[in-house]
Amino acid sequence: MFQTAGAKLAYEVVGDEADPLFVQTHGLTSSAWREHRAGLDVTGGLGGFRVLRYDSRGHGSSTGRAVPEDYLWSQLAEDLLALLDAVAPGEQVHTGGPSMGAATQICAALLDPTRFASLSLLVPPTAWSTRRAQTDQYLRSAELVENEGIGAFVRMGEAILPPPALADRPRERVPVVSQELLPSILRGASMTDLPPPEKFAQLEVPLQILAWTNDRAHPVSTAEELHRLHRNSQLSIAETPEDLATWPTQVARFVERHRR
């Protein structure tokens, strides 16, 4: 466990110490182990890398506080940088992961771009013009958990069809967070957004963006806008499970090109 401000982060590092480091992040209400089951752990194609997996504060085996501000993407970015200082001091690393994890990577790279050799952003979340509607959904969900419990939240999620790319994946709707922390985590998500487009456009770290279709919480429009703003980025969009299955290979090829 790594102690950071207001939380202890559960993590593991596997691989040879001499190899460069790839950091796998995860999405909101998920965890490192769950992303593997969902097909969003993209480390399977890597060769000659060691891998850091960790649970963000309040998620999985990590601890947290019932403080919404603790779950802003900017705070999660500071957690990541602090963890890297402890696990890989002075190293330049590669990162990859979905949704909240993608936003964490962006915020961390803007805080300290010299720490990152490449970013692989999977299914970037709503941002900027599309964030407001998702914000309202998070607030309603927080109230639902407080008033009716986590079971009502799970049942609401079960009514939402998954994106076509996840058609053959198990549906994991139970949050990997406690009922005590979930309302604060959701309210924190409602309060956060990506840095302004003009600031993001200044990011020079090589960028790979992998999106999928028909997901209101992770619209293709965010991926396309990030790609448009970043002059050193590539974009791929998955429409089927077969497309999704190529992501580990795509990530492996991308990070190998930017290996230092």
CB 73 within 8 A of CB 192: yes
What is the domain extent for residue 91? 2-35+43-257
Domain count within the chain: 1
Reference 187, options 151, 241, 130, 136; nearest CA is: 136
Contact 230, 118 (CB under 8 A): no
- The answer to whether the CB of 53 falls within 8 A of the CB of 32 is yes
pLDDT digits over 157-187, tens only?
887 888 999 888 877 778 999 999 999 999 9
pTM > 0.85: yes
Residue 252's pLDDT band, with cuts at 50, 70 and 90, is: very high
CATH number reported for the structural domain that contains residue 234 in this entry? 3.40.50.1820
pLDDT per residue as tens digits for the range 201-210: 999 999 999 9
